[in-house]
Amino acid sequence: MFKDKIVDFYLDKSLAYCRIFKIKKAIETVNKALWLDKNNVEALITRGFFYSCLFDKETSFKCFDLAFKNGLKYHVYFQKARACMNLDEYDLALDYLNKVLDYNCENFDTLNEIGLCYYFSENYDKAYHYFNNLLKIQPDNVEVLINISGCYLELGDFDLAMEYADKALDKNPDNLLGLARKFHIYMENNDYSSAL
């Protein structure tokens, strides 16, 4: 029990380092958790994700393979897909996300990640399709509204991009991604005075 609390402490601390982009320090810290519990699935997944941030695919995948032996397969697949996205391996990420859907075909987070895969691989029509379907499930989801806004922006429809950015900001006026999206729309539309 005490060991579990220490492992959790190191995991939380490693994630805090990751949030401020100190990835090597995050790896050092998660390694301390793994020293205490070498089969801890969350620590292995976290370590794999951190290595993907350093574009070390081989080490990242080794961590996920170890986690796969000890953890819930769909959870490991989902996290490995996120690591693949860090590595710009979108087709591979889609393969893993589709495996997650084999376990739960209506998982909102998984469907959102699939939309993001298509978005980052510049397949904006497919990304829009996924995000629009998610919006039918959760019409007030700010992240999905911002993602749809991004699709319209990339497709060159500044009016619809702004409409969805505004909808997101109506729901959460302090959302930094929404504010950044609106700024980006103004800049792409050469409306520099409104951007300021």
Question: Mean of the pLDDT values across residues 140-150?
Answer: 96
The predicted-structure confidence for 73-127, as pLDDT tens digits, reads as follows 888 999 999 999 999 999 999 999 999 998 887 789 999 999 999 999 999 999 9
Q: Which two tokens stand for residue 146?
A: 């911002």
Tell me 146's DSSP state.
H
Tell me 191's DSSP state.
-
pLDDT value for 135: 94
Could you give the 3-state DSSP secondary structure of residue 122?
coil
CA atoms lying within 13 Å on the CB side of residue 117: 24
Cα–Cα distances in Å, from 23 out to 46, 61, 66, 82, 118? 11, 17, 20, 16, 26
Domains and CATH numbers, the chain: 1-71 (1.25.40.10), 73-138 (1.25.40.10), 140-196 (1.25.40.10)
Question: Mean of the pLDDT values across residues 130-148?
Answer: 95
User: How long, in residues, is the chain?
Assistant: 196
Q: Which two tokens stand for residue 46?
A: 């976290």
In a 10 Å sphere around its CB, with 0-12 CB exposed, 13-18 middle and 19+ buried, how is residue 97 labelled? Answer: buried
Percent of the chain residues topping a pLDDT of 70: 99
pLDDT bracket for residue 149 (50, 70, 90): very high
